[in-house]
Structure 1
Amino acid sequence: MSFPVSVWYGVGSVTPPFNEETIRRDLNNIKDAGFKYVRGWVNWRDTEPRPGEYDFSSVENLLRVAGDIGLKVILQVYLEFAPDWLPRLHPDSLYVSESGNTIMPQGSPGVCLDNPGVRARAEEFLRRLAQVVVKYPNFYAWDLWSEPNVIQWIYQPTGWRGLFCYCNYSKGRFRDWLRTMYSSINELNKAWHRSYLEFNDVEPPRFVSLHFARDNIDWLTFNIAKLREDLEWRVKVIRSIDSSHPVVSHSHGGTSVFSNPLFGEPDDWEMASVVDAWGTSFYPKHAGRVKPDHVLDALVLDAARSAASASGKPYWIGELQAGQGVGGFKATEPVTPDDVALWMWQAIAHEAKAINIYHWYPMMLGFESGGYGLINPDGTLTDRARRAGEVAKVIYENSDLLLKAKLINSDVAILYNIESYKWLWIAQRHSSDVLSRSILGVYRILFNSNHNVDLVSIRQVENGLISRYKVLVAPLSLVMTPKAALSLRDFVSNGGLLLVDSRFAAIRNDGYIDSCTPAYGLSEVIGGCEDGYVSVDKVSLRITNDLIPGLKVGDLIIGSNYVSWLNSKAHEVGVSELNLDKPSITINDYGNGKAVYVGTSIGLSYEVNGPDSGVGKLVNGIIGMAMVQPPVEVKSTKQGYVEVRVLKSGIDHLLFIINHSYNDQLVKVRINENVLNVGNALIKDLVTGASINIINNEVQLTLKGRQVVVGLVSR
Structure 2
Amino acid sequence: MTSARRPFVHDGIAYGCDYNPEQWDPTVWSEDVALMRDAGVDLVAINVFGWSHVEPRNGEFDFASLDRVIDLLDDAGIKVNLGTGTASPPPWLTRLHPEILPVTEDGTTRYPGGRQAWCPSSPVFRDAALALVDAVARRYGSHPAVELWHVSNELGCHNALCFCETSAAAFRDWLEARYGTIDALNAAWGTAFWSQTYREWGEILPPMANLSTRNPGQQLDFHRFSSDALLDYFRAEAEIIRAISDKPVTTNFMVTAHIENLDYWSWAADMDVIANDHYLDNRLADPRTELSFAADLSRGLAGGAPWLLMEHSTGAVNWQPLNRAKAPGQLIRNSLTHVARGADAVCFFQWRASVQGSEKFHSAMLPHAGTDTALWREVVELGGIVDRLGEVAGSRVDSDVAIVFSWESWWAAGTESRPSHALGYLDQVHAAYAALHSQGLTVDVIAPGADLSPYRLVVVPGLHLVRAADASAITDWIAAGGTAVVTFFSGTVDENDRVYTGGYTGPFREALGVAVEEFAPVAADEPLRLTSGATASLWSERMHVTTATEVDAFADGPSAGGPAVTRNAWGDGSAWYLATLPSPADYRALLERVAAEAGVAPSVRVSAGADVETVRRRGEDAAYVFVINHGHDAAVVEATGHDLVTDAAVSGEIEIPGGSVRIIREESLV
> After TM superposition, is the score higher than 0.5?
yes
| Residue aligning to 2:273 | 277
| Residue aligning to 1:550 | none
**What is the deviation of 1:497?**
1.6
| Contact map agreement 1:324 1:335 (CA 8 A) in 2 | no
User: How many Å separate the matches in 1 of 2:59 and 2:305?
Assistant: 36
Counterpart of 1:625 (choices 576, 597, 608) is 597
- Alignment root-mean-square deviation, CA: 2.6
| Residue aligning to 1:564 | 541
| Contact map agreement 2:544 2:562 (CA 8 A) in 1 | yes
| Contact map agreement 1:558 1:615 (CA 8 A) in 2 | no
| Residue aligning to 1:548 | none
**What is the deviation of 1:83?**
1.9
Is the counterpart of residue 355 in structure 1 residue 327 in structure 2? Answer: no
| Contact map agreement 2:629 2:661 (CA 8 A) in 1 | yes
**What is the deviation of 1:102?**
1.5
**What is the deviation of 1:197?**
3.3
- In proportion to residue count, which structure has more strand? 1
* Structure 2 counterparts to residues 97-116 of structure 1, below 5 A: 97-116=104-123
**What is the deviation of 1:580?**
5.2
Counterpart of 1:418 (choices 400, 407, 414) is 407
Is the counterpart of residue 616 in structure 1 residue 588 in structure 2? Answer: yes
Give the 3-state SS of the residue equivalent to 1:709 in structure 2: strand
Is the counterpart of residue 590 in structure 1 residue 579 in structure 2? Answer: no
1:96 alignment partner AA? V
Structure 2 residues without counterparts, runs of 5 or longer? 1-9
Counterpart of 1:457 (choices 447, 451, 455) is 447
Is the counterpart of residue 368 in structure 1 residue 354 in structure 2? Answer: no
Which segment is superposed worse, 215-224 or 421-430?
421-430
User: How many Å separate the matches in 2 of 1:38 and 1:149?
Assistant: 23
Q: How has the CA–CA distance of structure 1 residues 574 and 229 changed in structure 2, closer, same or farther, with 3 Å as cutoff?
A: same
Is the counterpart of residue 435 in structure 1 residue 416 in structure 2? Answer: no
| Residue aligning to 1:155 | none
User: How many Å separate the matches in 2 of 1:344 and 1:328?
Assistant: 20
User: How many Å separate the matches in 2 of 1:334 and 1:450?
Assistant: 24
| Contact map agreement 1:641 1:659 (CA 8 A) in 2 | yes
| Residue aligning to 1:4 | 14
2:139 alignment partner AA? V
| Residue aligning to 1:475 | 461
User: How many Å separate the matches in 2 of 1:66 and 1:396?
Assistant: 18
| Contact map agreement 2:348 2:364 (CA 8 A) in 1 | no
| Residue aligning to 1:712 | 665
Give the 3-state SS of the residue equivalent to 2:186 in structure 1: helix
| Contact map agreement 1:80 1:111 (CA 8 A) in 2 | no
**What is the deviation of 1:238?**
1.3
Q: How has the CA–CA distance of structure 1 residues 587 and 330 changed in structure 2, closer, same or farther, with 3 Å as cutoff?
A: closer
Structure 1 residues without counterparts, runs of 5 or longer? 153-162, 544-554, 671-680
**What is the deviation of 1:24?**
0.7
| Contact map agreement 1:295 1:444 (CA 8 A) in 2 | yes
Q: How has the CA–CA distance of structure 1 residues 440 and 580 changed in structure 2, closer, same or farther, with 3 Å as cutoff?
A: closer
| Contact map agreement 1:480 1:507 (CA 8 A) in 2 | yes
User: How many Å separate the matches in 2 of 1:217 and 1:326?
Assistant: 31
1:35 alignment partner AA? V
User: How many Å separate the matches in 2 of 1:332 and 1:581?
Assistant: 45
User: How many Å separate the matches in 2 of 1:431 and 1:237?
Assistant: 44
**What is the deviation of 1:377?**
2.7
Is the counterpart of residue 41 in structure 1 residue 47 in structure 2? Answer: yes
| Contact map agreement 1:320 1:356 (CA 8 A) in 2 | yes
User: How many Å separate the matches in 1 of 2:422 and 2:149?
Assistant: 31
Q: How has the CA–CA distance of structure 1 residues 502 and 379 changed in structure 2, closer, same or farther, with 3 Å as cutoff?
A: closer
Q: How has the CA–CA distance of structure 1 residues 110 and 313 changed in structure 2, closer, same or farther, with 3 Å as cutoff?
A: farther
| Contact map agreement 1:294 1:660 (CA 8 A) in 2 | no
User: How many Å separate the matches in 2 of 1:625 and 1:150?
Assistant: 42
User: How many Å separate the matches in 1 of 2:60 and 2:622?
Assistant: 54
User: How many Å separate the matches in 2 of 1:331 and 1:573?
Assistant: 44
Is the counterpart of residue 60 in structure 1 residue 46 in structure 2? Answer: no
| Residue aligning to 1:657 | 627
| Residue aligning to 2:5 | none
| Residue aligning to 1:677 | none
Q: How has the CA–CA distance of structure 1 residues 434 and 191 changed in structure 2, closer, same or farther, with 3 Å as cutoff?
A: closer
Give the 3-state SS of the residue equivalent to 2:293 in structure 1: helix
Give the 3-state SS of the residue equivalent to 1:455 in structure 2: strand
Q: How has the CA–CA distance of structure 1 residues 580 and 411 changed in structure 2, closer, same or farther, with 3 Å as cutoff?
A: same
**What is the deviation of 1:211?**
8.2
Give the 3-state SS of the residue equivalent to 1:385 in structure 2: helix
Give the 3-state SS of the residue equivalent to 1:103 in structure 2: coil
| Contact map agreement 1:348 1:402 (CA 8 A) in 2 | no
| Contact map agreement 1:418 1:457 (CA 8 A) in 2 | no
| Contact map agreement 2:120 2:162 (CA 8 A) in 1 | no
Is the counterpart of residue 197 in structure 1 residue 191 in structure 2? Answer: no
* Structure 2 counterparts to residues 646-685 of structure 1, below 5 A: 646-661=616-631, 663-665=632-634, 667-669=635-637, 682-685=640-643
User: How many Å separate the matches in 1 of 2:259 and 2:158?
Assistant: 14
Give the 3-state SS of the residue equivalent to 2:251 in structure 1: strand
Is the counterpart of residue 644 in structure 1 residue 638 in structure 2? Answer: no
User: How many Å separate the matches in 2 of 1:431 and 1:6?
Assistant: 40
**What is the deviation of 1:581?**
4.8
* Structure 2 counterparts to residues 530-545 of structure 1, below 5 A: 530-536=516-522, 537=524, 538-543=526-531
| Contact map agreement 1:327 1:367 (CA 8 A) in 2 | no
Counterpart of 1:573 (choices 548, 551, 554) is 551
| Residue aligning to 2:161 | 164
Deviations along 1:279-298, one digit per CA (max 9) or x if unpaired, are: 222333x6x54677422221
